[in-house]
Amino acid sequence: MRHRLVATGSIAVMVASLAIHALTPQEADNPSFEAASIKPNKSGDGRFSIGMQPGGRFAATGVPLRQLIAMAYGSPGQPLPAFRIIGGPGWINSDRFDIVAKAEGNIQPGPNSPLPLMLRGLLADRFKLVVHNESRELPIYALMKARSDGKLGPQLRPATVDCAALAAARGRGGAPTPDGPGLGPAGRLTCGMMVGPGNLAAGSQSMAQFAALLSGRVQRIVIDRTGLTGNFDIDLTWTPDQIPQGAPGPPPPGAPPLPPIDPNGPSIFTAVQEQLGLKLESTKGPVDVIVIDRAEHPTED
């Protein structure tokens, strides 16, 4: 069954849910931008930026419509991966736009941010965007043990810290770790994840959390079929398909620096197998996607 709808609406990362937020009738009254200016960007340099500014000002420069759809239909701070946006005219990838939109007040960040829904309203109004949710059988990856004897790689180890207990202790007024939240005595990340281009350091994470993170790196849904329970410390280094120019942003305060990118290093698939003792096996499975039914160039201001 499909539901038709009109769109209304650092290095440290948190692994967020990749579920598509389907619009409900009750969301029709959600906050929207008071005013918006949209102009075509003809610079041709391929660069784009998106950000919130004080006073409820949303600014985007050189942004293709597909990227805006990804923001509108993902979770706050976690755009929907490109492979989960289906259809639409070719110009949604090639044509770029400069957008300045003003909300009534400051837009608060976090998991309950209204920004995705506000973007839906903007896209429906100015781009005449119409989409629907659908489940399709698509290629996915299964994360599995690579060796028949089940032996894991050297960079995948059972977690030595109970992060839930640490959080509970802090809630009761217990002392934090000496080198900062989530860091062990030697500066090793013990709770959470730090991700940079081509490297990852994780402390006390489940395989399901790791699989969700890999999805964004391999552009397919990754499901956990390792059979591994409990939490793990993970260190993974690989060479991305496209090496970013310039140095990455600084890690969080007190966190150790992530290693530099080795242009001659392994692919992420090889790294997962050699360093973690796991593998990504191609298969097929149901994937929730957004299908574009209609999109038009916006009228100029």
pLDDT digits (tens, 9 = 90+) for 247-268: 445 555 555 555 566 778 899 9
My answer on whether 7 and 130 are in the same domain is yes
pLDDT band at 177 (very low <50, low <70, confident <90, very high): very low
What is the pLDDT at residue 96? 95
**Which of 79-83, 91-95, 141-145, 168-172 is the least confident region?**
168-172
Give the relative orientation of helices 268-276 and 207-218 as an angle to the nearest 10 degrees.
Answer: 160
What is the pLDDT at residue 259? 59
My answer on whether 166 and 120 are in the same domain is no
Alpha helices by DSSP H, listed for the chain, are 65-73, 91-94, 115-126, 163-171, 207-218, 268-276
Highest mean pLDDT, choosing among 14-18, 45-49, 237-241: 237-241
The answer to whether position 145 is within a domain reads: no
Pick the closest to residue 15 from 111, 124, 145, 89 (CA basis). Answer: 111
- Asked if 200 and 12 touch (Cβ cutoff 8 Å), the reply is no
My answer on whether 156 and 263 are in the same domain is yes
Q: For 57-93, how does the pLDDT look when each residue is reduced to its tens digit (9 = 90+)?
A: 899 999 999 999 999 998 877 789 889 999 999 999 9
Q: pTM, whole model, 2 decimals? A: 0.67
My answer on whether 247 and 197 are in the same domain is yes
The answer to whether position 282 is within a domain reads: no
The answer to whether position 144 is within a domain reads: no
What is the pLDDT at residue 49? 86
My answer on whether 66 and 92 are in the same domain is yes
My answer on whether 122 and 193 are in the same domain is no
Q: Return the SS3 of 145.
A: strand
- Asked if 48 and 96 touch (Cβ cutoff 8 Å), the reply is yes
pLDDT at 183 over 50: yes
The answer to whether position 248 is within a domain reads: yes
The position carrying tokens 């009761």 is: 172
201 vs 172, higher pLDDT: 201
The answer to whether position 140 is within a domain reads: no
Domain count, the chain: 2
pLDDT band at 243 (very low <50, low <70, confident <90, very high): low
The answer to whether position 115 is within a domain reads: yes
What is the pLDDT at residue 193? 83
Which whole number is the average pLDDT over 141-166? Answer: 92
pLDDT at 1 over 50: no
Q: For 91-112, how does the pLDDT look when each residue is reduced to its tens digit (9 = 90+)?
A: 999 999 999 999 888 877 777 8
pLDDT band at 281 (very low <50, low <70, confident <90, very high): very high
Which whole number is the average pLDDT over 201-205? Answer: 91
pLDDT at 295 over 60: yes
**Across the chain, what does the average pLDDT equal?**
81
The answer to whether position 161 is within a domain reads: yes
Residue type, 162: D
- Asked if 144 and 278 touch (Cβ cutoff 8 Å), the reply is yes
Which whole number is the average pLDDT over 151-179? Answer: 74
288 vs 176, higher pLDDT: 288
Beta strands, E only, 173-231: 192-196, 199-205, 222-224
Find the domain containing 209 and state its range.
Answer: 152-276
The answer to whether position 50 is within a domain reads: yes
What is the pLDDT at residue 16? 34
What is the pLDDT at residue 244? 52
Highest mean pLDDT, choosing among 11-15, 118-122, 240-244: 118-122
Sheet-wide strand order for 199-205: 156-158, 232-237, 199-205, 192-196
